Amino acid sequence: MTHHIENALIGEALAGEGPEIAHIDLVIGRKGTAVEEAFVAALASPRMGHTPLLAVLEPNLITKPATLMVNKVTITNATQALLIFGPAQAAVAKAVMDCVAEGTIPEDEAEDLLIIVSVFIQWDAEDKKKVADYNYRATKLAIERAMKGEPTVKEALAKKDSAKHPFA
């Protein structure tokens, strides 16, 4: 189910396992809204260990909707940086464009939308293929959930007492 996007949509997903596990939080919104203000502020305000970057399919080819990646974990070394500025970046970009190609994000709205994706990459992650695969799956699922409004309030209420958080 796709719909015209007016208000900001929020999505979350976890995929994979081990040190390469991917956890994605994202927001999708229209240009001219608070989402654009946050997008521009984040892009213009890098700080040590946290450098927002645009998702690109390849150099000189950003996604539509334009997508900003923000790392949740402080980058402390080159290995970690290369996993974000490489397999994770390519995976997020591919997931966004596959969602447009499949109609999850309406193609006729893609130019008017912005996405901010918070990416989690553990310090000891090493496997580039797993980082790419897990971040692709988590980003795609988070977008699908955001566009469908999942989980619903009823679903969250139904599971509030039985939920098992993997890191709690």
**pLDDT tens per residue across span 124-136:** 888 999 999 999 9
pLDDT over 70 at 102, yes or no: yes
The per-residue pLDDT for 109 is 96
Asked if the model's pLDDT at residue 33 lies above 50, the reply is yes
Burial 128-155 (b: 16+ CB within 10 A, else e): eebbbbbbbbbbbbbbbbbbeeeeeeee
- Mean pLDDT confidence for 96-123: 96
Phi then psi for 72, rounded to 5 degrees?
-80, -30
The three state secondary structure string of the chain is: CCCCCCCCEEEEEEECCHHHCEEEEEEEEECCCHHHHHHHHHHCCCECCECCEECEEECCEECCCEEEEEECCCCCCHHHHHHHHHHHHHHHHHHHHHHHHCCCCCHHHHHHEEEEEEECCCCCCCCHHHHHHHHHHHHHHHHHHHHHCCCCHHHHHHHCCCCCCCCC
Residues 50-63 pLDDT 10s: 889 999 999 999 99
Does the annotation count 4 as an active-site position? no
Which residue out of 3, 4, 23, 50 is catalytically annotated?
23
**What is the distance between the alpha carbons of residues 125 and 19, in angstroms, rounded to a whole number?**
5
The confidence score (pLDDT) of residue 50 equals 86
Say whether pLDDT at 116 is over 80. Answer: yes
Is the pLDDT at 1 greater than 60, yes or no?
no
Where does residue 101 rank: exposed (0-12), middle (13-18), buried (19+ CB within 10 A)?
Answer: exposed
All structural domains of the chain, each given as residue ranges with its CATH number in brackets, are: 9-150 (3.30.230.60)
